[in-house]
Amino acid sequence: MSEEIEMVLLEAEDKMDGAVGHTRREMATIRTGRASSAFVEKLTVEAYGVDMSMQELATFSVPEARQLVITPHDIANVEPIERAIRNSDLGLSPTSDGRMLRLSFPPLTNERRKELVKLVNQMAEDGKGRVRGFRRSSRKELEDLEKEGGIGKDDIERAEKALDDLTRAHEDHIESAREAKEKELLEV
């Protein structure tokens, strides 16, 4: 296989890996009734006169399945962190003892679980769509290489088969993540 074809395939694989990772991170933000720092890590907090992510300002621990403890590195950030959580769309009310914050995660209703499963399914479809989009653009690059000449039709066909295999493998990764998240959501 030519170097140009290998470059197209490596670039496609890299982009597809990114799409899978993005989809998994999106799914991690879906609340399952269990405590997880993924829900609050990326929240923006105004501290020291600038916007910072919660992850930069505090450490997280899960002492119980439905409780998250947020311990700011600097005690002066307790109130800004509390304000950021209250102003977010998480629907959680933190309690503070002046040094740390506790978040209690209520159990999910069956109706809410089904809504979240639909949301996860949509995220998975969006991720698969991104993977297919990368396949399309890579196929176009392969067709352009063939038109430019110097690369045989057999090499292009092998590359397209490899590209299809890559696409299927990445779609399977997204599907596995979707199934795991759905199982986690429906677990009572």
Q: Which residue has the tokens 């479809």?
A: 125
Are 66 and 120 within one domain?
Answer: no
Structure tokens, 83: 């304000």
pLDDT tens digit sequence for 57-84: 999 998 888 888 999 999 999 999 999 8
- The beta strands (E) that lie in 81-170 are given as 95-96, 101-104
Q: Give the separation between CA 39 and CA 92, rounded to whole angstroms.
A: 10
Structure tokens, 185: 């959501």
Are 119 and 181 within one domain?
Answer: yes
CATH number for position 127: 1.10.132.20
Are 124 and 170 within one domain?
Answer: yes
Are 100 and 113 within one domain?
Answer: no
Containing domain of residue 47, as a range? 37-104
pLDDT tens digit sequence for 8-45: 999 999 999 999 999 998 888 787 767 777 778 878 89
